[in-house]
């Protein structure tokens, strides 16, 4: 019974790892479609999105099968519940990448971003993809030290996000309200994407140690 559990749990983590890698790729393409007004790339993110939704269903089915194994022990149950929560986080990251692609498509052939903020989004995109990649890595390794350090990578995103508002507010913004609205929403999408990657790391810490990051800190 233990063997069946280990085997299926590892299958679940593999699917989750693939999913987070895919939402990372989606955000990479979305960012490029945004920066280069590349309609084809935006369309590809939009049409690929269904595949992510299908993987979610597959992952939830795997988690339900794990639960149905005769009497998994308490710690196992917590890991399985984490599995469901991880599916939600990754789904949400996929939806946010999709939102970015849709903004790029809506404004095509125009570029969405005024030149003076394009660099911010290039960097936010790079960070987002890196966070997804690292989330994949800690999901596979279940290394809670790595997961804890991933949680700090979010700070760089928050800094960029704050600076973006400074650019819009404090300097002479000459690009009108429409561009400001787009930049505001896009900034929010990247920031939330990073938040979800951090939540994945939190759940890995919990799966690996049975403690929240705060509880670990208290104990050390």
- Interface residues with its own copies (CB under 8 A)? 63-64, 67-68, 70-71, 74, 77-78, 81, 84-85, 88, 165, 168-169, 173, 177-178, 180-181, 184-185, 188
Please identify, using beta-carbon distances, which residue of 109 and 176 lies nearer to its own copies.
Answer: 176
Query: Residue 16 in contact with residue 86, Cβ under 8 Å?
Result: yes
User: Measured from the CB atom, is 15 or 63 closer to its own copies?
Assistant: 63
Shortest distance (Å) from residue 112 CB to its own copies: 14
129/29 Cα distance (integer angstroms): 10
The residue written with tokens 């936010």 in the block is 124
Tokens of 162: 């704050």
Q: What does the DSSP assignment read for 155-188?
A: HHHHHHHHHHHHHHHTS---SHHHHHHHHHHHHH
- Smallest separation (angstroms) from its own copies to the CB of 42: 20
Q: Is the peptide bond before 187 cis (omega within 30 degrees of 0)?
A: no
Distance of CA 194 to the CA centre of its chain: 6
CB 40, min distance to its own copies, A: 27
Least separation in angstroms between residue 57's CB and its own copies is: 10
Query: Of the two residues 25 and 65, which places its CB atom closer to its own copies in the complex?
Result: 65
Smallest separation, CB 178 to its own copies (Å): 5
Nearer to its own copies, 1 or 71 (CB): 71
Residue among 5 and 84 whose Cβ is closer to its own copies: 84
| Rounded Cα–Cα distance for residues 152 and 146 (Å) | 10
């Amino acid at each position: 019974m233990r063997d069946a559990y280990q085997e299926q749990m590892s299958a679940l983590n593999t699917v989750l790892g693939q999913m987070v890698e895919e939402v990372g790729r989606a955000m990479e393409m979305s960012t490029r479609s945004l920066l280069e007004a590349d309609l084809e790339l935006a369309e590809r993110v939009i049409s690929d999105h269904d595949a992510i939704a299908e993987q979610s269903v597959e992952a939830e089915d795997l988690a339900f099968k794990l639960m149905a194994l005769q009497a998994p022990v308490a710690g196992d149950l917590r890991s399985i519940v984490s599995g469901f929560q991880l599916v939600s986080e990754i789904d949400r990251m996929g939806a946010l990448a999709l939102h970015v692609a849709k903004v790029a498509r809506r404004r095509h052939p125009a570029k969405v971003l005024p030149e003076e903020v394009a660099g911010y989004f290039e960097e936010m995109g790079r960070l987002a993809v890196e966070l997804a990649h690292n989330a994949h890595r800690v999901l596979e390794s279940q290394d809670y030290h790595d997961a804890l350090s991933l949680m700090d990578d979010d700070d760089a995103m928050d800094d960029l996000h704050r600076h973006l508002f400074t650019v819009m507010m404090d300097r002479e913004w000459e690009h009108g309200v429409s561009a400001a609205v787009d930049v505001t929403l896009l900034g929010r999408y990247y920031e939330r994407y990073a938040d979800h990657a951090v939540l994945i790391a939190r759940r890995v810490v919990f799966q690996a140690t049975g403690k929240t990051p705060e509880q670990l800190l208290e104990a050390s």
